[in-house]
Amino acid sequence: MVTRKLAALLGTLALVLAACTGTGSSTDAPESDAPTSQAPSGDCTVGVSWNNYQEERWALWDEPAIKDALEAAGAEYVSNDAASSAETQASNVENLIADGANVVIILAQDGTAILPSVEAAINEGVPVIAYDRLIEDPNALYITFDNVGVGRLEAEVIFDLVPSGKYVIIKGNSADANADFLREGMEEVIGDAVAAGDIEIVGETYTDNWDPSIAQDHMEQFLTDNDNDVDAVLAENDGMAGGVVAALEAQGLAGDIPVSGQDGEQAALNRVALGTQSVSVWKDARELGTAAAEAAVALCENPDIAAVSGTGTFDSPGGNAMTSILLEPIPITQENLSVVLDAGWIDEATLCQGVDSGSVDGCP
């Protein structure tokens, strides 16, 4: 369980100030299964605010990469989990600072709701890294994969398979800017065909919290509305793609209708091998976690985000010039499954479960 100290205890105020951090709220965050270090003691303590640690990716890939890179640099790690609550996350950020965090990495539940907490942290001299999800504060360092590029890669694979027909688009959480970035990338690929009438979008919706079960409900409704006459599905991530495939399976359509996704989740990669999902755009979360940790250590030494190695400028939808580090994703299809095998992202038994031997790359 996460270990937390009560924020702003008067007896520890001097220690917190000595660590060059500000005080926070006395509201303690709810318990979660996200692990954390013991009380920070080094010259550089990095706090991570997870939006929902129960999602497979964060515990499996991102957090270990962050912790390994911090350990290699001699820095300390502390974390907490918002359990999908924007209100809880605001308190969690305060608690991390009160616990001695010199830098805070935030995986935002709601990029708008967290803005006051980000501003307060920066005003207290605590640099903030917006991790994987945009926070519209130009004083925060934004580290992510090229999410417009992810949407473009998803759509390119599906469009190559289905250059005309009826499309469904299952977007992520409306409060997450990534959902719109992905949709923007998709539009770059299919927009002209939609305008020409070659592609008809017969269903499009946001999905609360990127929830696979909600995505399945949406897909079931779109199938009902269109008498199962759907030719392709652009689902913005692998979890929702799983819900889409479940809805298609119930109608005997799985494998007949191309479906996109992203994240390289193990279940999704197995679906790619089986042919029920056409692409999972792989974002090696180990690279993202390492980049964020290394940036955090650099910010402990120098709080100027523009001085962090590898940064560039990203013009955000809100009109902010964000100092950013954007990593490149890779689309994984049946033709290059060996890429994730060779990288140690997944093992052959998991990838090839239920797959006919020799039928696809990576499954001998």
CA torsion 222→228→233→237, rounded to 10°?
Answer: 60
Rounded to whole angstroms, how far apart are CA atoms 17 and 237? 42
Q: List the one residue out of 112, 106, 81 whose CA is nearest residue 177.
A: 112
Mean pLDDT of the chain: 90
The pTM of the full predicted model, rounded to 2 decimals, is 0.79
CA 81, 83, 84, 86 dihedral sign is negative
Where do the structural domains in the chain lie, given as residue ranges? 10-146+285-327, 147-282+329-351
Residue 347 is predicted with a pLDDT of 97
Quickly tell me which residue has 């999902």 as its tokens: 277
CATH T-level topology, domain 10-146+285-327: Rossmann fold (3.40.50)
What is the rounded (10 degree) CA torsion for 139, 143, 148, 151? -140
Among residues 255, 244, 161, 231, the alpha carbon closest in space to that of 205 is found at 244
- Alpha-carbon Rg for the chain, nearest whole angstrom, is 21
Give the 3-state secondary structure of residue 7.
coil
Question: Terminal CA-to-CA distance of the chain, rounded, Å?
Answer: 41
Phi then psi for 143, rounded to 5 degrees?
-125, 120
Say yes or no: do domains 10-146+285-327 and 147-282+329-351 share a fold.
yes
CATH architecture of 147-282+329-351: 3-Layer(aba) Sandwich (3.40)
**Residue 20 has what pLDDT?**
37
What is the pLDDT averaged over residues 207-231? 97
Model confidence pLDDT, tens digit, residues 299-353: 999 999 999 999 999 999 999 999 999 999 999 999 999 999 999 999 999 999 9
The sheet that has 199-205: what strands, in order across it? 199-205, 165-170, 232-235
Q: Are 24 and 94 in contact (CB under 8 A)?
A: yes
The string of pLDDT tens digits covering residues 63-116 is: 999 999 999 999 999 999 999 999 999 999 999 999 999 999 999 999 999 999
122-162 residue pLDDT tens = 999 999 999 999 999 999 999 999 999 999 999 999 999 99
- Which is it for strands 312-315 and 321-327: parallel, antiparallel or unpaired? antiparallel
Residues in contact with 264: Cβ distance below 8 Å, sequence separation at least 6, in sequence order: 238, 280, 281, 282, 283, 284, 332, 340, 345, 346
| pLDDT band of 42, cuts 50, 70, 90 | low
3-state secondary structure at position 179:
helix
